[in-house]
Structure 1
């Protein structure tokens, strides 16, 4: 077979120069078929010979034939490397696409080079590869448009350099879907997670917390609480001494329960409410105060779900946060109630456990 291939190769130039395009395409397909059928048993010298022959003839064939050959050899582990490189650099995505998506022969350097040179269709095809290196994602994040960036951010096999992640976070500031996608990545550093949430709107933050997996929700909750919590200056912290004495008396009498908490909240007795929530949940009082005084309702919903409060009590806590002079719209209250119902106890308990540990540390 090797001798026959060498004879074919020696006469190809003349055949291509004088031959009919259809016959050239048939010959290309025939040689490619021969390679595909025997690829598993070929030695390196055989692959090199096929490579020499096919790189001389395939570029001269019609587009449909080149696309067909690319599709058939793209996933072969020992496909002719020079031919693979030629096909991957084709402008037509029907030819380049199969190779960019699946070829294990296409090296990292070639992928980065193509990513810098070609358009969005080529970048999108690359996002279907099993792994995307930091060098490659650096280029994709820099050059990619919305669909490419979203696909890359959602790719479990993609890795990002610190520079790439910073650029991705900046892109997410203008794209809520991208914010949610990036925020779910377990390899996103906490510093950048907080930066990601700083640039997002409230509804996007809530959605991210809802869809994040349990391992990620604690980090999201921490970033949200850090952003919403208003740490007071040492000289301006509230004095909860009196409230804590009241709660201690209720505890000793066996009356520290949800009904007592509801009574404090409905009466807008902020200090007693915070002290009661702290005692029931086990979260330090300074942390509960910070969360209650923050800009978001989510931490209050999380604590409430963790200790199993009924919705009327949670609603009173929300109204307490707003103050007696503010009456929220019914639609807003209903949205908060829906979020509370969707929040699972197990998730809330994990987050509250995290808050307890962090504050104790």
Structure 2
């Protein structure tokens, strides 16, 4: 059949269901006839009207609340496909009605209808913000998940608000898997301590994770096996973090860590040292009769002597101290703090034994360590509970003034 003239279309529109469906599906059918068929008793006819690009928007408005799910799904696919063509600087009656239809369908009771919307809008940069906000907060993770994972419309403030609402793991994981997760969002995810979400974050190579946040993860990681593999494969591992990871993951993951050629020499050296720490010392001795070749063991350097040697060679750095913290080398860290701060070792030991967050922080300041390292010294050396640890101010700054820290040290006899 060729073009459909008005009289023919009008006649068919009052015929049987097959005729009405035919007229409803034709793009050349006159708008008033399409509008009339939008209230047809047959759901199949109304679905054709919903799919027809020539249907007047007023008829689409009626169909957005149709009783039949297939009608609403068809309408959702048509209207969502129009979003890329909507002009941001032209907001007339048609555009307003289109947006209203989108908002109605985003709240539809049927997940299948909302799912059609998600498939079309989840990664569009010009998707209507109100619609994306509605879908991102959908309690059905199959709806909200793809939007949380992909939508460029969502801001950090939006994501932080959703995280604060304690969503279930699937939605939290979707946020963790976004491209280029910001530092603020990463911090919020780690603070939840949700195993699956943190594992997803660690597995996301584009996620930005501060060293302080990574330290927090490493504090908890021994109890969370799903974090181990993504930690081992995490790009840009700091030397101290790599050494700590090598201290608690399985032998097979240690081999993966050791085989990484993308890590700088300093980090690979830290891993090697950590691996040596976890291996049992070789037992050798003459006259054992076991057929083994005896090897003379070199005398082991004492922790304090090693600290003094590195200090003299100007190699006693913050990374060296934090690496030793991760390996549990208490004697070396104590000696290092004394050397770096210029304080007598008995004073250092007294400050650490006092378990005062302010006192330990002042000691680290005196040793010219960063607050990141000071936080680790508080928790790992002074055994101060995480809830009592003194944290950085404005990201990385010490939370006390110089005068306040000098005053803290005076309690321990430091002039």
| TM-score of Structure 1 vs Structure 2, range by shorter chain | 0.5 to 0.7
Q: Which structure has more helix as a fraction of its residues?
A: 1
Aligned to 2:400: none
- The separation in 2 between residues aligned to 1:225 and 1:170, in whole angstroms, is 20
- The separation in 1 between residues aligned to 2:233 and 2:76, in whole angstroms, is 47
Instruction: Identify the match of residue 201 of structure 2 among 140, 144, 152.
Output: 152
Aligned to 1:20: 67
Please list the CA deviations of residues 145-190 of structure 1 after superposition, one character each: whole Å capped at 9, or x if unmatched: 3333222112110111344212211232224552343244343333
Distance 1:181 1:95, change over 3 A: closer
SS across alignment from 2:223: coil
Residue ranges of structure 1 left out of the alignment (5+ in a row): 231-264, 273-361
Matched, 1:142 2:191: yes
Instruction: Identify the match of residue 215 of structure 1 among 241, 263, 282.
Output: 263
Aligned to 1:359: none
- The separation in 1 between residues aligned to 2:224 and 2:137, in whole angstroms, is 31
Aligned to 1:266: 293
- The separation in 2 between residues aligned to 1:11 and 1:167, in whole angstroms, is 53
Give the Å deviation of 1:70: 0.7
Please list the CA deviations of residues 293-331 of structure 1 after superposition, one character each: whole Å capped at 9, or x if unmatched: xxxxxxxxxxxxxxxxxxxxxxxxxxxxxxxxxxxxxxx
- The separation in 2 between residues aligned to 1:167 and 1:216, in whole angstroms, is 23
Distance 1:210 1:29, change over 3 A: same
- Relative contact order higher in (CA < 8 Å, ≥ 6 apart): 1
- The separation in 1 between residues aligned to 2:81 and 2:297, in whole angstroms, is 79
- The answer to whether the 8 Å contact 1:112/1:136 transfers is yes
Structure 1 length normalisation: TM-score?
0.53
- The answer to whether the 8 Å contact 2:246/2:257 transfers is no
- The separation in 2 between residues aligned to 1:24 and 1:201, in whole angstroms, is 52
Matched, 1:43 2:88: yes
Distance 1:266 1:105, change over 3 A: same
* Correspondence 1:164-179 to 2 at 5 A: 164-176=213-225, 178-179=227-228
Give the Å deviation of 1:65: 0.6
Distance 1:174 1:24, change over 3 A: same
- The answer to whether the 8 Å contact 2:176/2:186 transfers is no
Aligned to 1:123: 172
Aligned to 1:188: 237
- The answer to whether the 8 Å contact 2:239/2:267 transfers is yes
Aligned residues: 228
- The answer to whether the 8 Å contact 1:180/1:204 transfers is no
- The answer to whether the 8 Å contact 1:9/1:53 transfers is no
Give the Å deviation of 1:131: 1.2
Give the Å deviation of 1:59: 0.7
Please list the CA deviations of residues 262-298 of structure 1 after superposition, one character each: whole Å capped at 9, or x if unmatched: xxx93434459xxxxxxxxxxxxxxxxxxxxxxxxxx
Residue ranges of structure 2 left out of the alignment (5+ in a row): 1-53, 279-291, 300-415
Matched, 1:69 2:112: no
Instruction: Identify the match of residue 94 of structure 1 among 142, 145, 153.
Output: 142
Distance 1:178 1:163, change over 3 A: same
Aligned to 1:206: 254
Give the Å deviation of 1:206: 3.0
* Correspondence 1:3-14 to 2 at 5 A: 8=57, 12=61
Aligned to 2:282: none
Distance 1:75 1:214, change over 3 A: closer
Structure 2 length normalisation: TM-score?
0.47
Please list the CA deviations of residues 182-238 of structure 1 after superposition, one character each: whole Å capped at 9, or x if unmatched: 24434333333334444x1572673243342342464143244268569xxxxxxxx
- The separation in 1 between residues aligned to 2:72 and 2:226, in whole angstroms, is 48
Distance 1:174 1:44, change over 3 A: farther
- The answer to whether the 8 Å contact 1:74/1:102 transfers is yes
SS across alignment from 1:173: helix
Instruction: Identify the match of residue 106 of structure 1 among 140, 154, 169.
Output: 154
- The answer to whether the 8 Å contact 2:106/2:134 transfers is no
Aligned to 1:54: 102
- The answer to whether the 8 Å contact 1:165/1:188 transfers is no
When the two chains are superposed, the root-mean-square deviation of aligned CA atoms in Å is: 3.6
Aligned to 2:318: none
